[in-house]
Amino acid sequence: MPYELITIPCRSDNYAFLLRDHASGETLLVDVPAAAPILAILKEKAWSLTHILLTHHHDDHVAGLADVLAVHPAQVIGATADQHRLPSLNRAVVAGDTLVIGSQRGRVMDVPGHTVGHIAVYFEAAKLLFSADSLMALGCGRLFEGTAEQMWQSLDAMRNLPADTLVCSGHEYTLANAKFAITIEPQNTDLIKRQADTITANQQGKPTVPSRLSLERATNPFLRPESPEIRERLQMPGASNAKVFAEIRRLKDKF
């Protein structure tokens, strides 16, 4: 493999990610929930950090930045739309911009919903999607700022990436999401198996993130508004995908 991906548990349930291009030595950090676990991995690997991507402005994704920069003065990248409330950026990006990490090229995606300035980055050759709190394992982020229509458009764009894409999302919420998902589509055999697998992983202390997009398409109710079972349970047979999604999100918020 020309690259290495490391998933770093941070705080109680956050994840940060390191993407290392072997040939160049360039190393990208995606989000900085806490400095200590990230610095420990970098020290263990003897890697120098070159780039930091901030997906959105929430404290649990940026809180460790100053302490990481004190050791690794990397280029900090974030959304132009959120520049006014992110830590100081070296590079502000918009949808369609490219992140180059050695031989790896990532495309910036605008994915509002959880926040209005949330971005994701898709590395096509590596089939890696860094989605943070937009598309999540068996779920999606709460709509703190954006609308259901915005979030649905964001999710629809991401679900249409290649099926073997690895989804690197921001939290270990999979078990809680599974408990909700099974109430929306209880006859989904793929979902039943995934819930069982998630319970086992949690019992063994194993992360359930990243996840394959193919698995999300098969089991994540927020990507499945066309499901006849979901539409029947919600009594929304003729509704648009966006309206079905909005109802699923509303139910999850009350769950």
Residue 127 and residue 163 in contact, taking contact as beta carbons nearer than 8 Å: no
Can you spell out the DSSP letters for 143-183?
-SSS-HHHHHHHHHHHHTS-TT-EEEESB--HHHHHHHHHH
Is residue 1 predicted with pLDDT exceeding 90? no
In angstroms, rounded to a whole number, what is the distance separating the alpha carbons of residues 250 and 247? 5
Residue 82 and residue 71 in contact, taking contact as beta carbons nearer than 8 Å: no
3-state secondary structure of 69: helix
Is residue 119 predicted with pLDDT exceeding 90? yes
Percent pLDDT > 70 in the chain is: 100
- pLDDT given for residue 202 in this prediction: 95
In angstroms, rounded to a whole number, what is the distance separating the alpha carbons of residues 44 and 30? 18
- pLDDT given for residue 86 in this prediction: 97
In angstroms, rounded to a whole number, what is the distance separating the alpha carbons of residues 89 and 184? 41
Whether domain 3-169 has CATH 3.60.15.10: yes
In angstroms, rounded to a whole number, what is the distance separating the alpha carbons of residues 108 and 105? 10
- pLDDT given for residue 104 in this prediction: 96
Specify the domain boundaries for CATH 3.60.15.10 within the chain: 3-169
